[in-house]
Structures are given as structure tokens and as C-alpha cells.
Amino acid sequence: MQDDSQTEVIQEARLWSDGRWTARVIKNEDDDGWAVAMLLAGEAEPALVGPWTMGRDKKNPKPLDTAAFNTLVKTASEVIRRHEQQLHAQLHKRVRLDMPQGRIDVLLDIVPDEDNPYATLSALDAEGTALAQVRVSPSFKLSEASALRWLENDFQRPG
């Protein structure tokens, strides 16, 4: 549970934070304009960096405000959510085979450990009962053809 007494709320023209998200208006390194970086607490890199509007003087950035901050939080949260979904899709794959004995789902779950990455290949029947499970290389390519070969080889560890 978060201790709200430790949450520092900042509402400045170029820095806005609710304790969880921080928006910082920065000089855009690519041109003469400005950018805004959204950083989630505890993360080293911004979740989002995008262009920021110039102020009325066409020289300084427009100040941050509640509406802009809330929009930036929503956008940055969506970027993180999409990234997590993409990572999940890369690490967890499923192929469904319709066999004479019924439907079989073959799953590949990759564990991206820095020192010892590996993957688990599993087969489940239509009720979700495990039929087999073997450890494979994290580079194993799961496809209908590779899943079918594994089933036809009596679930022997693929070479």
C-alpha cells in the first residue's frame, strides 16, 4: 500500500508530478522546439517523449497544466500497456491443433533470464489437462508444423 505522505505533488510550468508520473518539458534536441518526457516512478527511462507546444511568445514552451498532464499520463500509460502486450505476445505463443483424438493446444512459454534463458513447450487437451511438457531452447519456433511434428514424435524433446 502506498504511503500518500511520501507522494510529492509538483505543479510547475515545466515540471509536473503526481508522485507516480512526472512530466518534464525539455529542449528538443532535434530542432528549436520543445518536448515533454513522461517518466513513471522507479523507471530509468521515459515511457514517452513527444513534441511540446510553444508558448505565445513562440520562444518558450507552453506551461504544463492539469488537463495536459492528465492527457500525457493517459498516453504514456497506453504506451506502456501496448509494450507489455507486445512483450507478452513474444514470450507466450499458442497453436491450436484439431486432431482425430480432439483439440490439442501447444504452448511455448519463453523465460528471458539474462544468464540462462529457456522455454517450455507444453501440450494441453481440450479440457486443459497437461499431456506433455518439455524444456526447449528459447529460440524454438512454434508453428502448426513444429507442433504437429512434436505430437507425432510422441512429445519427444525437439532437436
User: What integer pLDDT is reported at residue 6 of this predicted model?
Assistant: 57
Residue 105 and residue 83 in one domain = no
CA 17 to CA 123: how far, in whole Å?
A: 47
Residue 130 falls inside a structural domain: yes
Residue 95 falls inside a structural domain: no
Taking only the tens place, the pLDDT of each residue in 14-68 is 999 999 999 999 998 777 789 999 999 999 999 999 999 988 888 899 999 999 9
Whole-Å CA distances, 116 to 92, 120, 136, 138: 17, 13, 12, 10
User: What integer pLDDT is reported at residue 123 of this predicted model?
Assistant: 97
Q: In the listed set 48, 68, 89, which residue is the last one of a domain according to the structure?
A: 89
User: What integer pLDDT is reported at residue 159 of this predicted model?
Assistant: 75
Residue 58 and residue 28 in one domain = yes
CB contact burial 105-127 (16+ within 10 A = b; e otherwise): bbbbebeeeeeeeebebbbbeee
Taking only the tens place, the pLDDT of each residue in 93-138 is 999 999 998 999 999 999 988 899 999 999 999 999 999 999 999 9
The three-state DSSP-derived secondary structure of 20-85 is: CEEEEEEECCCCCCEEEEEEECCCCCCCEEEEECECCCCCCECCCCHHHHHHHHHHHHHHHHHHHH
CB-CB contact of 158 with 149 (8 Å):
yes
CA-based nearest residue to 19, from 30, 31, 5, 32: 5
Residue 80 and residue 117 in one domain = no
Q: Is the model's pLDDT at 82 over the cut of 90?
A: yes
Residue 64 and residue 129 in one domain = no
User: What integer pLDDT is reported at residue 5 of this predicted model?
Assistant: 46
Residue 51 falls inside a structural domain: yes
User: What integer pLDDT is reported at residue 137 of this predicted model?
Assistant: 94
Q: What is the mean pLDDT of residues 139-148?
A: 96
Q: Average per-residue pLDDT in the chain?
A: 92
Residue 109 and residue 143 in one domain = yes
The number of domains in the chain is 2
**Residue 67 phi, psi dihedral angles, 5° rounding:** -60, -45
Containing structural domain, residue 27 = 4-89
User: What integer pLDDT is reported at residue 32 of this predicted model?
Assistant: 77
* Dihedral angle computed from the Cα positions of residues 62, 28, 11 and 44, in that order, rounded to the nearest 10 degrees: 160
Pairing relation of β-strands 10-11 and 48-52?
unpaired
Residue 158 falls inside a structural domain: no
Residue 63 and residue 110 in one domain = no
